[in-house]
Homo-oligomer: A and B are copies of this chain.
Amino acid sequence: MKYYYEYPRPCVTVDTVVFGLDEGDLKVLLIQRAQDPFAGRWALPGGFIHMDESLEDAARRELEEESGVKLAYLEQLYTFGNVKRDPRDRVVTVAYYALVKLSAHAPHAASDASNVAWFPAADVPTLAFDHAKILETAMARLQAKVRYQPVGFELLPEKFTLTQLQKLYETVLERLLDKRNFRKKLLKMGLLEELDEIEQDVAHRAARLYRFDRKRYAHLTKKGFNFEI
């Protein structure tokens, strides 16, 4: 058994796949690199960890620094550590994925004239490093997660209609759902608080607004309830 200092150390970074929902489209936040390697290429936001912060803290800090988004949900995704994933040095990256409420972010504001932009998740430019693989992993994880944990709500505004919720699932799962069955199922779970409000400024009958009831979810979960779509 050797002592620590005898071992060469890799760089450690965090990279985060930030998902947002923009009018029914799933988007990903990317940053255009200023420096080599891959100068000019789009990449996931991220950077080197500091010695006095946890991995998750590092992810949050980098996102705030680079893009100013406020995260609704953040979860560790996977750690990528292939030897040659960075051409300059050995770099291990701990990838996270995050969900944000784009409705609260003036999403288009971020993209003007800056090097930060939202891209459709299904149609991103060529990415730096192995970030395409990280994105792919994140998409798969989101798809799986959304089915058995109520994380989808983190993509919606606080108050939403059932149609918005259904569209969200259809977008993420990439298949159509039956309206009647979807509503029956979701309402029966008893996790949606029916509000005395309706959506505004629509050119047809306005839909009722709902809110996800976190306390009730926590309560039911303790009793063995299993969320599943």
Which residues does A use to contact B, with CB under 8 Å?
1-2, 4, 7-12, 33-35, 48-49, 51-55, 76, 78-79, 81-83, 88-92, 94
Contacts and interface: CB of A to CB of B under 8 A. Distances in A.
28 contacts: A1-B33, A1-B35, A2-B48, A4-B11, A4-B88, A4-B89, A7-B11, A7-B48, A9-B9, A9-B11, A9-B12, A10-B12, A12-B12, A12-B81, A12-B92, A49-B81, A51-B83, A51-B90, A52-B83, A53-B83, A54-B82, A54-B83, A55-B79, A55-B92, A76-B78, A79-B79, A79-B94, A92-B94
Q: How many protomers of this protein does the assembly include?
A: 2
A33 B1 CA distance: 9
A224 to B, nearest CB: 11
A147 to B, nearest CB: 10
Nearest to A56: B81
Contacts of A94: 79, 81, 92
A76 B81 CA distance: 11
Given A4-B88, A51-B90, A79 B76 contact: yes
A4 B10 CA distance: 10
Contact of A10 (B51, B81, B83): B51
Nearest to A9: B9
Contacts of A52: 83
Given A7-B48, A9-B10, A10-B51, 4 more contacts: A1-B35, A4-B11, A55-B92, A92-B94
Nearest to A78: B76
